[in-house]
Structure formats: C-alpha cells, structure tokens
Chains A and B, each alone.
Chain A
C-alpha cells in the first residue's frame, strides 16, 4: 500500500492574456511509506506544482483538470477545503525554499514552530514545546533549549531552514515536502542542513518529496529520483540507476552539464600576450556612514589584491558575504574604495566611475547575476545592445545595424530578436543579451558577477561554453565571480578564495583540491556536493572535515 499515489494528473493554468496552457501533462507516481522521492528538473518543469498538489494546493491561476492525488487514502483533488486543511501539517507538511520568507519576523520562533500543534489541537502547548526542543536537538541546532526564544532575524540562514523543517515535523506528518530547501544556502551550510534532514527523516521513518534542480544534492538524500521536463516524467528510477545508467537523453544532458569540460590552458597564447591587464592593489572598501578616520561602518573588503593576466581568467569564489561582488563593484568604479588602487593595463584608474575616461570604461565591462533586472524592460533588445555602440563608438546607420546583427550572432541569438522586449525572452537568452551588450564595447576585460547562478544547469553550461568560445575569438580576459566551484573550475585559470572580505589564497584551477593549503579553502572545496550517493555519509565520517566544520 503506497502512502501517496498520483494518477494521470493534469493541471491547467490561464495566463494573463487569457491563453490556456497545460502545465502538468498526465503525471503518475507513487510514494511508499518511509521513502524519499526526489523531483528534479529545470525551472518550469512542474516539479513544485506536483509537490504542492500532494497538499491539494494549486498556485494562483492554476486548477486541477483531471486525475487523482491520493494521500493516505484521501483524494486531495476532490476533498473539500476543510478536509484538506485537516490533512495539512498532520499528514502532509511543507518546507519552503525561502525559510526567511516563511517566518513571521514579529513572532518568536518557538511560537511559530508549535503553531501546527496549536491549530490542530494535537497536544497541550507545554508538551508541544518540549517536543519542539527534541526536534531542534535532532536537527543539530545549537542551544536547542533556548533557540526558540529568539526572533527569525537572530538566527542564521541555515538554522532558519532547519527551524522551518522543525515547524513541518512537529505534527508528525507521514509525508514531508521539501521545496528546494538548500538552494539559497552556501555549500558549507548546505551540508549541515542536508545532514540534519537526512538523519531526522531516517529516524522518524517519514516519507519525503524532495524538490530540487541539483542532481548532486538529491543523490545524497533520495531513494528514488524522478526527472521532469515540460510537465511530463522523463525518467524515474533509484538514485543509483539514474546516476550510473541514465537512459533518457535529457537526464544525460543534466548529468553532463554537471561536469563541464575543464578549461584547457593555452600556454603559447599566454607567452604571446602576457602582461597584467587588470590588477587590484590593497583594496579596502565598505558600506555605510563614514567615521572620523574615513572608514565606513561595515568593511566588506580588507586589503584585497589580485592580478589578472591578459588572455587568462581569474575565478573569485566564496560564500555569500565574502566580499566577492564588492570587489567587482570596486573594480568597475561603482563603489570607490577607501584605500588601494585598481589598474587597467598598467595605468591606475580613478576610484569613481565619473572620473574615468570613456576609453577606460570601454575596456572594462561588467555583467550581472540577475539577467532580468539587468535589462531595461522598456527598451528593445536592439536598443540595449546598441547603446554601447552609440556611446563608445558613435556608430550610426548601416554599420550600427550590421554590428547589432553580428553581436546577436556572436551570442547565438537569432537576428530577429533585436525587436523584442526583454520580457519576451527566457532567462538564458537574457543573459546572452547581457553578454552581447558587454561585447558591444569591444572590452578587454569582462567582470562576470555570478552570471550563471540564476540559470538552470543545462542553460548555464551552454553560457559557459559560449564564454570560452568568445574568449578564443576575441582575446578577452574574465574575472569570474561565483559561489559554484564547478563552473569556476570549468572556465578559470586561477582561483582566488575569499572569506569575510579577505583573500584566503590564490590557487591554479587545475588541481584545486591538491593545492589547497588553507583549512577554509579545503573545507569549501570538500563541501561541494558530488554526484556520488555515499558522498555525504563519507564526508561526515571524515574527522578532518568535522574538525574544520566545527572551527568555522
């Protein structure tokens, strides 16, 4: 007897323009008691929609069309709202992607965690609190007795995510839905959270649905993996089967995107060109009001130095808050540093962008993480790409049109796209347009600030390939900022590890793991999930790793 059964589920939605679309096209799946099933796929594949249907919930604008979703003997599709509400929290529970958005900032954590017990009158409040403390302990939260007295802003992101899980577990659900619970976390934090989830689920004998786009994360926690695309199941099988003997081409493209080809350093080119194209020297910078000594309230960079050689790529890696984006802002002149200098091709640059010459600005371009917000929604693609042409090169008429067509071709977009608005493009296409806009200036250096982080794995891999190709053709140098080690390894020659605004060490990209000396970089490299089912268990048994984690 399965705990949950979805049979031939069809879900429809009506778009703003009144068009009807089918978002789930006949999905059937089973979840046995105590089994953890992972739903994996890119954005828009319907993975979250299916997971939410297990609670009988559909998002605004969507509706059940046909099929059944049976959870613990109740059909969630036909059940009325009262019956569904009775099931939620006690039979099916939900852990959201953003725990920070899931907590009320004005209430203490304990009051929010025991809310499920209170609403469903499961047990007296004292007993619920005692139980919550037990769950906190099981989730390895620090100071389990008192952490409930804090407010959501007083705990870290990883702790908040575990508290969201505690909120879901308090009603002893038979099925827990995890909706990308570790996607927004740093790799080192992700390990703690994954480990806590895994042990709690295993000890409690609960069934789970784990929604994610990250195959390596899923491999650590799931018994069975279901690969989705376009609202249909592409392939399903045990975790080992999927990882080692994937049959479907889409699954294979997911797997291969996970291991991009490492960059082949071309020694002869480096000899030809040589020289340092971009250098930062002893940069200290920060945010907030400036004190008497001219130091800002919050220092984000402490005397950071780095060099980028012509034709080579520098990777900057670190967790959130390590100062890597601040470094890019200082280099681009958007945030004038308190002390230290940035030089381009041997000449020092003015700290503020207003004081730099047009020629200096042209040679150094920046591309941002969020493709959607980096394009003006009111300007057509052609106008966005064309602006640097007019601004830096004063191009007009036929040459201007021809250059736009050439730039679109360079980033592998059809020429007709120049008349579209950004809203009509997909995330990957928008990021290509952003690249084309940077290329329009004919730069020497492009600062890439997490440009692949918001993209799906397969799309991101294609963008990385494009970057490599452009580098070959146009002799560019990149500063590639990312929190994702595998993309940095794929494109960079040197990798600089940053932590708390300081440079930990700079290493050659080939053989990062062997060359790492500093305990923090060792920990960071070891924390990146691997496509290997036993990786998490082995890692947590490694005494060196546990010591480094504790010392963090």
Chain B
C-alpha cells in the first residue's frame, strides 16, 4: 500500500487560483495595517512636496494630496484605521449575532420572540442616520465608531445565524442530545455551531465588506476618523477637489477600498471545499 501524505489538497484545504490571489491581497492589507506606520517612506502628516495633487513619481509612488503630503504614506497609515476598526466591529457584531441567534433557535418560545423583535427594531433604524445622531451626540472617537458599526450589523448577523440554527435544531442528533438532558450551552457549542460554521464564516466576510464600506461612507461624510488621522474614506473626502484634475490622490484610496472589499468577496466565493462543504 502506498503511503499517502496529508497534503492540503487531500485534506480539502486547497484554494483555487482566484481564491489564492484574493487571500494574498487581504494578507497584504492585513500586514500593512500592522506595520504601516513603520514602513511609510515619508511621515504621513507632513507636507513633503511643493506641489499639491502631484502626479505619480519615483519619489511619491501614489502622488501627493491637496497639501502636498505623500499619498502612499497616508494610504499605508490609513489601512490601520480602515481594517482595524472594521475588523473589531465585525467581530463584535458577528459574535453577538451568532450567539444570540443560536440561543434563540435552541431555546425558542418567548426568548426567541423577544430577541427577534428587539433586533428587528434596531435594524429598522437607517444605519447612516444612526451613525450621524450618535456621533453628533457623543462625538467621534474610535471606540464610538466600533460600537456604532457593531450595533448596525448585529441584527443582520443574528437573522442569518438564527435561520441556519433553526434548521439544525430540528435535526435528530439535536433531539437525541436534548433527550440526553444536555444543557443549552452544550447544544449551542457542540451540536449547532460546528454545523453552521461554514456559511456563518462566509457571512462574516461579507459583513466585513459592508462594514468597510459603511465606515468609508461615514468618514466621507466627516463622521468617521477625525483629522489629522485619516482612514481611506477620509482620504477620499479630503482629496475630492482633485477629482476634476484627475489627481491620483483621490483615486488611490478608492483603489485601496475596492481591492480589499473585492478580495474578501472573491475569497468567500472560493473558500476551500473543506469549509464550503459544511454549508451544504
């Protein structure tokens, strides 16, 4: 009998080329988000060029902004805010949504009704308006932004997780566990979660994209990250004036947003079979 080595392909963890490229782009931005401030060629806050809205050049690979600051440095240091805030927000939103969703599906009855109606009420508030009111009331800071984004995206995550968990909760193996006298915590952790993990992870990726876009939108409206710091959304806003000159300063942060969000979408569309199979 031949020896079979457990290669990623045999274990079902192999990515297809599109997924691999997408994963590389995401990894690139993740690394930049961590080490960005140390590898910027110029200090992101300082005016380094005599010209504003400068073109692409060897010295300024992404051009310069409306004050003559280096765009590459600003995009790199902005990655920390865009990726970091979105990641924190999506983690909180999805954790809360999934835990509540599974609890509602397993416990059922009044608990289910109360949680569902409460979150329905939250989801009925327009997200940008909600952000506007909160920021106007208590001012904009990073914890407030994370909290706002998390609250906005919890109901969607809850709905999705609950819908999946309700289907799993009627399976015989869950009934067997109930008949054995298992506690709700065990049912959620061991019987339900592993069987909804695939689609839930995919949903999490999708929700991350929404959060990046909403954060960029809020920053664009001036409600997000405040100057002198800037995330990608604020960078687009600052350099709006360059749009009519075709300045790279307005295009580059938009490209950064687009590459990140499209890559996340492509990655979840091309997840390894091992994860995808769980969703079927």
Binding site for B on A (CB under 8 A): 332-334, 353-354, 356, 358, 361, 365-366, 368, 370, 373-379, 384, 387-388, 391-392, 437, 441
The answer to the question of B190 belonging to the interface, with a C-beta cut-off of 8 Å to chain A, is yes
Pairwise interchain contact A376-B179, C-beta atoms closer than 8 A: no
Q: What is the distance, in angstroms, from A266's C-beta to the closest C-beta of chain B?
A: 29
Kindly identify which residue among A334, A358, A377, A378 contacts B179, using a CB–CB cutoff of 8 Å. Answer: A334
* A368 and B195 in contact, given A356-B181, A361-B181, A378-B278 (Cβ under 8 angstroms): no
| Chain A to chain B contacts (Cβ below 8 Å), 27 pairs | A334-B175, A334-B178, A353-B178, A353-B181, A356-B181, A361-B179, A361-B180, A366-B176, A368-B175, A368-B176, A373-B171, A374-B171, A374-B172, A374-B173, A374-B176, A375-B173, A376-B194, A377-B195, A378-B194, A378-B195, A378-B278, A384-B173, A387-B180, A391-B180, A391-B181, A437-B176, A441-B180
Please report the C-alpha to C-alpha distance between residue A365 and residue B180 in the assembled complex, in whole angstroms.
8
The answer to the question of B182 belonging to the interface, with a C-beta cut-off of 8 Å to chain A, is yes
Q: What is the distance, in angstroms, from A514's C-beta to the closest C-beta of chain B?
A: 37
Q: Looking across the interface, which residue of chain B has its beta carbon closest to that of A441?
A: B180
Pairwise interchain contact B179-A353, C-beta atoms closer than 8 A: yes
Q: Looking across the interface, which residue of chain B has its beta carbon closest to that of A376?
A: B173
Please report the C-alpha to C-alpha distance between residue A391 and residue B178 in the assembled complex, in whole angstroms.
12
Q: What is the distance, in angstroms, from B194's C-beta to the closest C-beta of chain A?
A: 3
Pairwise interchain contact A379-B180, C-beta atoms closer than 8 A: no
Binding site for A on B (CB under 8 A): 171-173, 175-182, 190-191, 194-195, 197, 278
Q: What is the distance, in angstroms, from B193's C-beta to the closest C-beta of chain A?
A: 9
Q: Looking across the interface, which residue of chain B has its beta carbon closest to that of A361?
A: B181
Please report the C-alpha to C-alpha distance between residue A356 and residue B182 in the assembled complex, in whole angstroms.
11
Residues of A within 8 A of B177 (CB): 387
New contact pairs (14) apart from A353-B179, A354-B181, A373-B171, CB-CB < 8 Å: A333-B179, A334-B179, A356-B181, A358-B181, A361-B181, A368-B176, A376-B195, A377-B195, A378-B194, A378-B195, A384-B173, A391-B180, A392-B180, A441-B180
Q: What is the distance, in angstroms, from A376's C-beta to the closest C-beta of chain B?
A: 5
Pairwise interchain contact A376-B191, C-beta atoms closer than 8 A: yes
For the complex of A and B, list the 5 residue pairs with the smallest distance between their C-beta atoms, beginning with the closest: A378-B194, A374-B172, A361-B181, A373-B172, A368-B172
Residues of A within 8 A of B178 (CB): 334, 353
Please report the C-alpha to C-alpha distance between residue A212 and residue B184 in the assembled complex, in whole angstroms.
43
Residues of A within 8 A of B175 (CB): 334, 368
Pairwise interchain contact B182-A391, C-beta atoms closer than 8 A: yes
Please report the C-alpha to C-alpha distance between residue A388 and residue B180 in the assembled complex, in whole angstroms.
8
Q: What is the distance, in angstroms, from B172's C-beta to the closest C-beta of chain A?
A: 4
Which residue of A370, A376, A391, A437 has the most chain B CB atoms within 10 A of its CB atom?
A376
Residues of A within 8 A of B179 (CB): 332-334, 353, 361, 365-366
Q: What is the distance, in angstroms, from A348's C-beta to the closest C-beta of chain B?
A: 17
Residues of B within 8 A of A366 (CB): 176, 179
Please report the C-alpha to C-alpha distance between residue A392 and residue B180 in the assembled complex, in whole angstroms.
9
Which residue of B171, B176, B182 has the most chain A CB atoms within 10 A of its CB atom?
B176
Q: Looking across the interface, which residue of chain A has its beta carbon closest to that of B171?
A: A373
Q: Looking across the interface, which residue of chain B has its beta carbon closest to that of A354?
A: B181
Residues of B within 8 A of A392 (CB): 180
Q: What is the distance, in angstroms, from B40's C-beta to the closest C-beta of chain A?
A: 45
Please report the C-alpha to C-alpha distance between residue A333 and residue B278 in the assembled complex, in whole angstroms.
31
Q: What is the distance, in angstroms, from A290's C-beta to the closest C-beta of chain B?
A: 13
Q: Looking across the interface, which residue of chain A has its beta carbon closest to that of B197?
A: A378
Residues of A within 8 A of B173 (CB): 373-376, 384
Please report the C-alpha to C-alpha distance between residue A366 and residue B180 in the assembled complex, in whole angstroms.
9
Please report the C-alpha to C-alpha distance between residue A441 and residue B181 in the assembled complex, in whole angstroms.
12
Please report the C-alpha to C-alpha distance between residue A378 and residue B180 in the assembled complex, in whole angstroms.
19
Q: What is the distance, in angstroms, from A325's C-beta to the closest C-beta of chain B?
A: 11
* A379 and B194 in contact, given A334-B178, A334-B179, A366-B179 (Cβ under 8 angstroms): yes
Which residue of B172, B182, B191, B278 has the most chain A CB atoms within 10 A of its CB atom?
B172
Q: What is the distance, in angstroms, from A329's C-beta to the closest C-beta of chain B?
A: 9
Please report the C-alpha to C-alpha distance between residue A361 and residue B175 in the assembled complex, in whole angstroms.
13
Q: What is the distance, in angstroms, from A209's C-beta to the closest C-beta of chain B?
A: 33
Q: Looking across the interface, which residue of chain B has its beta carbon closest to that of A333?
A: B179
Q: Looking across the interface, which residue of chain B has its beta carbon closest to that of A368?
A: B172
Q: What is the distance, in angstroms, from A55's C-beta to the closest C-beta of chain B?
A: 29
Q: Looking across the interface, which residue of chain A has its beta carbon closest to that of B198?
A: A378
Please report the C-alpha to C-alpha distance between residue A115 and residue B15 in the assembled complex, in whole angstroms.
47
Q: What is the distance, in angstroms, from A478's C-beta to the closest C-beta of chain B?
A: 16
Q: Looking across the interface, which residue of chain B has its beta carbon closest to that of A447?
A: B179
Please report the C-alpha to C-alpha distance between residue A358 and residue B180 in the assembled complex, in whole angstroms.
8
Please report the C-alpha to C-alpha distance between residue A376 and residue B177 in the assembled complex, in whole angstroms.
10
* A370 and B195 in contact, given A361-B179, A391-B180 (Cβ under 8 angstroms): no
Pairwise interchain contact B190-A379, C-beta atoms closer than 8 A: yes
Which residue of A353, A356, A365 has the most chain B CB atoms within 10 A of its CB atom?
A353
Please report the C-alpha to C-alpha distance between residue A374 and residue B180 in the assembled complex, in whole angstroms.
13
Residues of B within 8 A of A368 (CB): 172, 175-176
Q: Looking across the interface, which residue of chain B has its beta carbon closest to that of A359?
A: B181
Please report the C-alpha to C-alpha distance between residue A276 and residue B180 in the assembled complex, in whole angstroms.
22
Please report the C-alpha to C-alpha distance between residue A272 and residue B193 in the assembled complex, in whole angstroms.
48
Q: Looking across the interface, which residue of chain B has its beta carbon closest to that of A377?
A: B195
Please report the C-alpha to C-alpha distance between residue A187 and residue B55 in the assembled complex, in whole angstroms.
83
Q: What is the distance, in angstroms, from B34's C-beta to the closest C-beta of chain A?
A: 33
Residues of A within 8 A of B190 (CB): 376, 379, 387
Residues of B within 8 A of A353 (CB): 178-179, 181
Please report the C-alpha to C-alpha distance between residue A437 and residue B173 in the assembled complex, in whole angstroms.
11
Please report the C-alpha to C-alpha distance between residue A373 and residue B177 in the assembled complex, in whole angstroms.
12
Pairwise interchain contact A370-B172, C-beta atoms closer than 8 A: yes
Please report the C-alpha to C-alpha distance between residue A358 and residue B173 in the assembled complex, in whole angstroms.
18
Q: What is the distance, in angstroms, from A42's C-beta to the closest C-beta of chain B?
A: 23
Residues of A within 8 A of B191 (CB): 376
Q: What is the distance, in angstroms, from A287's C-beta to the closest C-beta of chain B?
A: 14
Q: What is the distance, in angstroms, from B167's C-beta to the closest C-beta of chain A?
A: 11
Please report the C-alpha to C-alpha distance between residue A437 and residue B179 in the assembled complex, in whole angstroms.
12
Residues of A within 8 A of B171 (CB): 373-374
Residues of B within 8 A of A365 (CB): 179
Please report the C-alpha to C-alpha distance between residue A378 and residue B181 in the assembled complex, in whole angstroms.
20
Please report the C-alpha to C-alpha distance between residue A186 and residue B177 in the assembled complex, in whole angstroms.
30
Please report the C-alpha to C-alpha distance between residue A361 and residue B178 in the assembled complex, in whole angstroms.
10
Please report the C-alpha to C-alpha distance between residue A308 and residue B278 in the assembled complex, in whole angstroms.
42
Please report the C-alpha to C-alpha distance between residue A384 and residue B191 in the assembled complex, in whole angstroms.
10
Which residue of B171, B181, B278 has the most chain A CB atoms within 10 A of its CB atom?
B181
Residues of B within 8 A of A384 (CB): 173
Q: Looking across the interface, which residue of chain B has its beta carbon closest to that of A434?
A: B176
Please report the C-alpha to C-alpha distance between residue A370 and residue B174 in the assembled complex, in whole angstroms.
13
Please report the C-alpha to C-alpha distance between residue A379 and residue B173 in the assembled complex, in whole angstroms.
11
Residues of B within 8 A of A375 (CB): 173
